[in-house]
Structure 1
């Protein structure tokens, strides 16, 4: 490949550097096909930007399960839930029946969607149509409510998180065009679900519209898809590299909705690590037994190794 492409890729990397003053460390997609390499490099840069955005997965600094009907939260010693960042007293989270609310501490500047919070507000979870995200520390911090089964938790993000400023970049398997497979989509009966266990041990029945079937090395493999009928597919899989160069719990992959011909492109070069590979404060679904492949997929993201000073 000519020097022009690599020069352009380097300039793009430098231009996108904005995470703690560091330039993104993104392994170049080295392939004989310039168009393929450029496509992969663009995907990798977008992936890096999403991870290191001011509210990306590398900004998580806390996950606090709510065990009572009311919790005072803040960084100070008088708070029932101690935050790693933020004001000493942030406010109170309370539950009334099936709904939660948030009451701010007087004098603490907070906002939701740019509007100042001056009194008690409804606190919607990520399962509600419009989740509530409370901004603090001049917008650098974010407080949100998660629901996992019957349990609720507070998730805290902060743009100044050490896990963001010291993010060491992504590494990739060699991959190649041979890992772009045309898979046949085999639909399931309407309403079928698949039990998916997350890293907290919770099992959730997720919509399972069908599976993708593909061949590699003369062998046929299948991956059950998480999706509603007619929608894009979300694949959670583990393979022979899991725990041996790839994240042990498996990886994720997104595809477009199956075409009218019943086929879909599955690009394993775009297999990516779940959020739990970067932070201990995420709740990630794990690969079901049906999606554990007897195949080494040497494409997509390798396991992430944080710098020692920022490792949890």
Structure 2
């Protein structure tokens, strides 16, 4: 799952992309670096804790919910014991889990009776309840509390064989000009659930394409990285409708490199059990970017 931020950047182009239909520019070093990046991305997706491992999700309602694979459960799991336990969401947003009497679930390898559950936003969280090859936990998105189930034997994980993508084209590795904001600005965006989120934007990247000024706002991703969620004229056609993600290194000498060959699908495009940010109005480009990942064959 995801969810924490989105964008700030604007700019002047250094390498103009070729018009559609013309030969792409291939640089052996750039091609090799892009393919290595793609290989690492696929390996991350296929890890036990990768996004392909989700097999169940839903919202948690206030009060008590019986959790298990039995059809009459309040939270029906796609696999596991008929009754795993009872999940309680208090009015203050805190969650507790009381184990079923047979103690099928484990936390850190040990049985338990009743435990307060941490979400992914809490230090040391989320609390993971293991059973069979799967594990159950709770997450928070804005004011909403949800549950997730991962499985080492996830069909998506077992069947994954890559993601369609455009040919690598070095002309889509663009040096944009960085325009800092003073003071920083606030970016508002929605998740795929329609829940509002916001983040602080310290500047914008600007570049020129087809004689028009293009602007992108990124979020600070930490460790000297910028994170963009953007859409373009390919969105909803050859690429995912909610937009794509792109990371860039922090600006140097007033410029930031936007390599759209590394534009990739958000996790929710690969697995419907994940919540992602969608492209905000500030990052909906009026150009066609035929670079990076296309719509996945298996949404």
TM-score range, shorter chain: 0.7 to 0.9
1:235 maps to what in 2? Answer: 228
Matching residue of 2:148: 155
Normalising to structure 2: TM-score of the pair?
A: 0.84
**What is the rounded CA distance, in whole Å, between the counterparts of 2:39 and 2:221 in structure 1?**
29
Q: Deviations over 1:101-126 (max 9, x none)?
A: 222223334344x3424222221112
- For these two proteins, the number of residue pairs brought into alignment is 275
**Alpha-carbon deviations, 1:145-196, whole Å to 9, x = none?**
1112211110111121222222242111123111111122222234521111
**Aligned partners of 2:58 and 2:259: how far apart in 1?**
36
Q: Relative CO higher for 1 or 2, CA cutoff 8 Å, sep ≥ 6?
A: 2
**Structure 2: 5+ residue runs without aligned partners?**
1-23
Match status 1:181 vs 2:174: yes
Q: Cα offset for 1:257?
A: 2.0
Identify, as 1 or 2, the structure richer in strand: 2
2: CA distance, partners of 1:217 / 1:193: 29
1:71-82 correspondence runs (5 A): 71-82=65-76
Residues of 1 paired with 2:247 and 2:89: CA distance? 36
Matches within 5 A, 1:263-278: 263-278=255-270
Cα distance, 1:228–1:46 mapped onto 2, change above 3 Å:
closer
User: 1:117-128, aligned counterparts within 5 Å?
Assistant: 117-128=111-122
1:108 counterpart (103, 107, 129): 103
Partner of 1:301: 293
Structure-2 separation of matches of 1:174 and 1:46? 18
CA RMSD across the alignment: 2.2
Q: CA deviation at 1:277?
A: 0.9
What is the CA–CA distance in structure 2 between the aligned matches of 1:38 and 1:155, rounded to whole Å?
36
**C-alpha displacement of 1:297:** 0.9
Cα distance in 2 between the residues matched to 1:115 and 1:129: 20
Q: Give the TM-score taking structure 1 as reference length.
A: 0.81
